[in-house]
């Protein structure tokens, strides 16, 4: 307990005690008032009034911290003087209020310490002994203390009265000193413990708040208590919003945790963000107990595994492509050499005049298929051994306008209309030729998905990408949306794989090459069917 608080308590206690003593004195000793007793009563009233005024002034000065020690000494001195004057007003040796010296000694010990308590006991002994002796020898008759009252008790009684009071004063001082020292030690120990607990609380709060994973605790009833910052970022809810909410209302896939708190649980589940994006979260849950060993709930830790899953998929694809790249050059060389010989021979035969018209038609089919095979090998090489992008900074909108103008004369795009919604200020850092090839592949894919015609929309924006909580980075987002028949989840899962196609005459390499180009730029490309229909390709390129 601080010194200021102790002083306040003692001042309040003095006000209450002074009032009670005043009331009791008036009731017990002044029922039949004489002129002398009226004088004494007037003196007591002045003493009590001064005590109230003194206490009020001390309360006002307590606001000034530098005067606290001075006020503490002043309180002790005033208590001793107050009790002394009270004894003089209430018959000295016959006064019932001599025990108040004990309270003065105790207050000195608690406010100032053990040594000051002994000093106060010595002062009490001197003051009390002086009052008794002076009254015994008649030196206080002028203030109303009768000598006969003291002499009637006898010298022996007075001696024992002084002796026992002195013993009481010093014993009180010693006991108060001991208790004050123990109380101070206990307060210091408690303060150290409190500081340690405060530090631990701040440390644990800081750790929980800044974890790079979600952390929440639930009660046995499945109600959320702790909800850290990562969880707030994932769900879009604050700690205040999530507090006392049911876990199943926020994470429906974790409904089983509340019913199996006696065992450890882990696994993965899909979580749909408020934006509509779906991410994969891995979690583990373990129960915890209170100080009595009773189950108090469970701790649930979860982490966004979306990037990791994508990385695993990319690594598997990279492993396949690594093996494919090793044999691609040899295969292309081994296929192109005989293919070139076959094409040359067929051309020589076709130019020979003795070949019939039917044979000429067959030779043209062979040449056409040879050219098709050569194009397939070229696309295959572009996919298996893509060239490193030569990145430069350029505006996206003029590139899209040039491509739309180029395709306007293509017969495949006669029934297709384009909507260029790319803002004029969007700057992209990429290989302009490779990005042109990507957009051409997507436009052709959209046109083939709309044989009866439709609309292709191109948009772009900047946003923070990534699913690692606080480690989000800015990225340029390009979307190509058509109004075709859409795409199902099975097709979307295989759409970027080489040689996988749903078209009768498709090679299955156009979107695969597109994927490799975006991958070489450090970006991502995804496909989905929006609620309004059609198909949407989303490209994200790091800024």
CATH code assigned at 230: 3.30.450.20
Residue 109 shares a structural domain with residue 119: yes
Strand partners, 223: 246
* 224 sits in which H/E element: strand 224-227
Structure-model confidence comparison of residues 66 and 21, the more confident one: 66
* 37 sits in which H/E element: helix 35-61
Low-confidence winner among 24-33, 188-197, 236-245 (lowest mean pLDDT): 24-33
Return the pLDDT at 486.
81
Return the pLDDT at 458.
92
Q: Are 316 and 308 in contact (CB under 8 A)?
A: no
Query: For 82-131, what is each residue's pLDDT tens digit?
Result: 888 888 877 888 888 788 888 888 888 878 888 888 888 899 888 888 88
470, pLDDT greater than 50: no
Residue 434 shares a structural domain with residue 482: yes
507, pLDDT greater than 70: no
- Asked if residue 202 belongs to a domain, the reply is no
Return the pLDDT at 25.
57
Cα–Cα distance measured from residue 21 to residue 28, given in angstroms and rounded to the nearest whole number: 10
Return the pLDDT at 197.
63
- Asked if residue 204 belongs to a domain, the reply is no
Cα–Cα distance measured from residue 34 to residue 42, given in angstroms and rounded to the nearest whole number: 12
Return the pLDDT at 31.
55
- Asked if residue 203 belongs to a domain, the reply is no
Last residue in a domain, options 348, 366, 384: 384
Q: What is the mean pLDDT of residues 475-497?
A: 81
- Asked if residue 339 belongs to a domain, the reply is yes
Half-sphere exposure of 303 (CA within 13 A, CB side): 10
For residue 240, give its domain range.
Answer: 211-307
Residue 476 shares a structural domain with residue 535: yes
**What CATH code is carried by the domain that includes residue 455?**
3.30.565.10
Cα–Cα distance measured from residue 253 to residue 279, given in angstroms and rounded to the nearest whole number: 13
In whole numbers, what is the pLDDT of the chain averaged over residues?
A: 79
Query: For 253-308, what is each residue's pLDDT tens digit?
Result: 888 887 777 778 888 888 888 777 788 888 898 888 887 878 888 889 888 888 78
Residue 157 shares a structural domain with residue 279: no
pTM (2 d.p.) = 0.42
384, pLDDT greater than 80: no
401, pLDDT greater than 80: yes
Return the pLDDT at 468.
47
Residue 52 shares a structural domain with residue 111: yes
First to last CA, the chain: 60
How many residues appear in the chain? Answer: 543
- Asked if residue 324 belongs to a domain, the reply is yes
Low-confidence winner among 139-143, 263-267, 373-377 (lowest mean pLDDT): 373-377
Query: For 428-463, what is each residue's pLDDT tens digit?
Result: 889 898 898 889 889 988 888 888 888 899 999 888
Strand partners, 528: 536
Residue 469 shares a structural domain with residue 403: yes
Last residue in a domain, options 259, 275, 307: 307
Residue 418 shares a structural domain with residue 380: no
Residue 505 shares a structural domain with residue 533: yes
**What CATH code is carried by the domain that includes residue 358?**
1.10.287
479, pLDDT greater than 70: yes
- Asked if residue 444 belongs to a domain, the reply is yes
Return the pLDDT at 35.
44
Cα–Cα distance measured from residue 164 to residue 319, given in angstroms and rounded to the nearest whole number: 100
Cα–Cα distance measured from residue 536 to residue 533, given in angstroms and rounded to the nearest whole number: 9
134, pLDDT greater than 70: yes
- Asked if residue 196 belongs to a domain, the reply is no
Closest CA to 449 of 398, 492, 390, 391: 492
Highest mean pLDDT among 252-266, 295-309, 377-391, 486-500: 295-309
Return the pLDDT at 321.
62
Residue 108 shares a structural domain with residue 223: no
Residue 118 shares a structural domain with residue 66: yes
Give the C-alpha distances (Å, rounded to integers) separating 75 from 8, 18, 231, 289, 311: 11, 14, 57, 51, 76
Total domains present in the chain: 4
- Asked if residue 137 belongs to a domain, the reply is yes
Query: For 111-124, what is each residue's pLDDT tens digit?
Result: 888 888 888 889 98
Cα–Cα distance measured from residue 509 to residue 498, given in angstroms and rounded to the nearest whole number: 5
pLDDT tier at 480, thresholds 50, 70, 90? very high
Residue 350 shares a structural domain with residue 434: no
Last residue in a domain, options 384, 400, 416: 384
503, pLDDT greater than 80: no
Count of other CB atoms within 10 angstroms of residue 242: 20
Residue 267 shares a structural domain with residue 291: yes
Query: For 21-64, what is each residue's pLDDT tens digit?
Result: 666 655 655 554 444 455 556 667 677 777 777 777 877 777 77
Q: What is the mean pLDDT of residues 381-391?
A: 71
């Amino acid at each position: 307990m601080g010194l200021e608080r102790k002083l306040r308590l003692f001042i309040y206690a003095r006000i209450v005690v002074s009032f009670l003593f005043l009331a009791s004195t008036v009731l017990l000793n002044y029922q039949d008032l004489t002129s002398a007793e009226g004088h004494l009563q007037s003196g007591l009233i002045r003493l009590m009034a001064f005590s109230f005024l003194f206490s009020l002034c001390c309360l006002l000065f307590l606001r000034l911290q530098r005067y606290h020690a001075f006020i503490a000494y002043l309180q002790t001195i005033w208590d001793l003087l107050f009790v002394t004057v009270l004894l003089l007003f209430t018959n000295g040796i016959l006064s019932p209020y001599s025990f108040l010296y004990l309270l003065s000694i105790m207050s000195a010990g608690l406010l100032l310490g053990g040594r000051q308590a002994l000093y106060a006991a010595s002062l009490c002994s001197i003051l009390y002994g002086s009052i008794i002796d002076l009254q015994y020898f008649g030196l206080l008759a002028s203030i109303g203390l009768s000598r006969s009252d003291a002499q009637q008790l006898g010298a022996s009684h007075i001696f024992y009265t002084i002796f026992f009071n002195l013993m009481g004063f010093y014993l009180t001082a010693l006991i108060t000193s001991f208790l004050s020292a123990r109380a101070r030690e206990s307060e210091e120990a408690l303060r150290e413990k409190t500081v340690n607990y405060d530090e631990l609380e701040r440390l644990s709060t800081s750790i929980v708040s800044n974890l790079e994973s979600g952390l929440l605790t639930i009660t046995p009833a499945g109600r959320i208590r702790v909800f850290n910052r990562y969880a707030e970022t994932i769900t879009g809810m604050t700690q205040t919003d999530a507090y006392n909410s049911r876990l199943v209302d926020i994470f429906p896939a974790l409904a089983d945790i509340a019913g199996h708190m006696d065992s450890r649980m882990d696994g993965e589940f899909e979580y749909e963000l408020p934006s509509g994006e779906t991410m994969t979260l891995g979690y583990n849950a373990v129960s915890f107990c209170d100080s009595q060993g009773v189950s108090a709930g469970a701790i649930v830790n979860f982490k966004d595994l979306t990037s990791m899953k994508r990385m695993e998929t990319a690594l598997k694809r990279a492993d396949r492509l690594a093996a494919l790249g090793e044999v691609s050059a040899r295969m292309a060389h081994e296929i192109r050499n005989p293919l070139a010989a076959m094409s040359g021979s067929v051309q020589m035969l076709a130019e020979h005049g003795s070949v019939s018209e039917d044979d000429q038609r067959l030779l043209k089919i062979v040449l056409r298929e040879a050219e098709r095979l050569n194009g397939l090998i070229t696309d295959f090489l572009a996919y298996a051994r893509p060239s490193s992008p030569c990145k430069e900074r350029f505006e996206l909108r003029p590139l899209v306008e040039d491509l739309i103008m180029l395709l306007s004369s293509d017969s495949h795009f006669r029934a297709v209309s384009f909507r260029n919604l790319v803002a004029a200020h969007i700057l992209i850092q990429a290989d302009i030729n490779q990005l042109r090839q990507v957009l051409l592949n997507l436009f052709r894919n959209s046109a083939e998905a709309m044989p009866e015609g439709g609309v292709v929309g191109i948009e772009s924006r900047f946003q923070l990408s990534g699913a690692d909580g606080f480690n989000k980075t800015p990225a340029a987002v390009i979307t190509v949306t058509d109004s075709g028949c859409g795409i199902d989840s099975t097709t979307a899962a295989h759409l970027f794989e080489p040689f996988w196609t749903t078209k009768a005459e498709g090679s299955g390499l156009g979107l695969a090459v597109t994927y490799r180009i975006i991958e070489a730029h450090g970006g991502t490309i995804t496909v989905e069917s929006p609620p309004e229909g059609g198909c949407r390709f989303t490209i994200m390129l790091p800024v």
